[in-house]
Structure 1
């Protein structure tokens, strides 16, 4: 059984327009910051799924390219339906390949942007690694005691973490 060319053109155009609509929605949600971390849509990698912030950054970076890919696909869909014949299928395929290439490139930029976001360590202001003086640098790091929430902070504190007043350097305790 031979499938008529018109049926193939309509199927190709529907696929192209559905993908264009998907990337239009994802790009719009990403650029406005309303795309939440999920399993299916957006730029997803270990770097971007690390937190809501990294996911938002990656998708905000990738959003203009996703919107451009949606535009490419709309143009390809219009040409697919407008030209007719087997060349229309070529327009659909070239449009799909071009859009996927653009989305791949901008997704890579989004992953790089997400990787540049500092990791949330929980008690970011408290640091057992940073020493403000040579005396503190010579002291061994404190062991973490689960019963004492301040033990994860070490011996120095900027005083801005959620453990305000609990983390303090040893000289202030005297």
Structure 2
């Protein structure tokens, strides 16, 4: 009989730990303070596409995470105090997973409604290589694409276009000095 109770206690502890994680995700998602991360939350290409998509998805999913946590807590408590407690912990886990799964699907659909962000750091086509392009003609802003790879040396910190490695000073053979 003690072995059965020990298994119930272990199951209760495990569901309480998962409930704590889901409570954190639910509250942080509801308040919009869940930071983008690789460990917790709804992690799909739609939800990580932008900060706005991440925030919206987790605000939508928050009630399901909180409901799943509640199911886990009830299952864990029943596991400790009722006969056949392990089954209550498993039942709470199944109900919690069902709640989180359903709202995660809804959250993904909500994240799909967020427009894709403009790619502000996308290389020459976004004028990244030209630094400050105010008043610069577009054909001059990326001379690297026009066959002049070192034309903008020293004007940018981007390094994402054809200038990569082109702005290093050339050395004279044997002298070690830049030209």
TM-score clears 0.5: yes
The correspondence for 2:141, drawn from 141, 144, 147, is: 147
Cα 1:40–1:110 change in 2 (3 A) is: same
Cα 1:81–1:119 change in 2 (3 A) is: same
Cα 1:111–1:27 change in 2 (3 A) is: same
Counterpart CA distance in 2 for 1:100 and 1:146 is: 56
Residue matched to 1:95: 92
> Please, which runs of 5 or more residues in structure 1 have no aligned partner?
124-143, 149-174
List structure 1 runs of 4+ shifted beyond 2 angstroms. none
Counterpart CA distance in 2 for 1:52 and 1:26 is: 16
CA RMSD of aligned residues (A): 1.9
Counterpart CA distance in 2 for 1:33 and 1:113 is: 15
**SS at 2:141 equivalent:** coil
Counterpart CA distance in 2 for 1:146 and 1:27 is: 50
- What pairs up with 1:115-130 in 2 under 5 angstroms? 115-122=112-119
Residue matched to 2:174: none
Higher helix share: 1
Offset of 1:79 from its aligned partner? Answer: 0.5
Residue matched to 1:77: 76
> Please, which runs of 5 or more residues in structure 2 have no aligned partner?
121-137, 143-179
Offset of 1:146 from its aligned partner? Answer: 7.1
TM, length-normalised to structure 2: 0.66
Offset of 1:53 from its aligned partner? Answer: 1.0
Counterpart CA distance in 1 for 2:119 and 2:101 is: 32
TM, length-normalised to structure 1: 0.67
